A = this chain, B = another copy of it.
Amino acid sequence: MKRTRYKEIETLLKVKIQHGVLKVGDYLPSENELCTNFSITRTTVRKALDNLLKEGYIEKKHGKGSLVKERRHSLGLLNVKGFSEAVGMNVNTIFLQEPAKREWSTTTSFRPSENELKANSLHFEQLRCVGDDPVMLENNWFADLELKNIIGQEFVEGSFFKTLSQKYLIEVTGSEQELRAEYADERTAGYLKIEPGTPILHISVKFHTNKSNLNIYSELYCNTMKYPIGNSYHL
């Protein structure tokens, strides 16, 4: 991943927000202050702020400033990253199947490319809990191409995507999703502690990354009774 000035500012501010240095409702330094503080032009500052806006971290008020926004308290922003970045603090993740070489699933909505299918597939399965409530069963596949030592390694802060970003400089650049309401099958229901046949939200995702041959295919099964899936979008 190429380092750029705007990305520097962007991640720096994002970290400050994530760590609570900048709290919800706080105004960011004005664009001109950021310019002088970091010795960059307003064009670059605005590019960084635009990205934060797009990802829902801030809100901009014409004539006033940019302020830190309340991130969705439900399981928000699935269109940006994975689960553990989206939710607040009290999220526990349990590995049902540790990362290992396994067959490509034949039931994913998004079909891997021929090149990916030729390669081996790495897979892992997690159960996501809010407190003690299991709310999401998650399966992930990706081609075993460029990620040396990813199996056997602990994930950074429990997040696969943070690991990709920090250890391999791989960033998610986009995603496609398909959403379906389905009956829970027995296995899924068991892990989610619900009756088989209960409606669950099935989300199929293909994450695109800046490595053109690396995509992550995820199948998520969510119990939305207590914790609906959230999403937001701002121009």
Contact = CB atoms under 8 A, between A and B. Distances in A.
Interface of A: 51, 54, 72, 74, 79-80, 109, 173-183, 199-202, 204, 208, 222, 224-225, 228-235
26 contacts: A51-B235, A54-B54, A79-B231, A80-B233, A109-B228, A173-B234, A174-B232, A175-B232, A175-B233, A176-B232, A177-B230, A178-B228, A178-B229, A179-B201, A179-B228, A179-B230, A180-B224, A180-B225, A180-B228, A181-B181, A181-B199, A181-B222, A181-B224, A199-B200, A201-B201, A208-B234
Q: How many copies does the complex hold?
A: 2
A234 B177 CA distance: 12
A230 B173 contact: no
Contacts of A80: 233
7 nearest A-B residue pairs (beta carbon): A199-B199, A174-B234, A181-B199, A79-B233, A181-B181, A181-B201, A180-B224
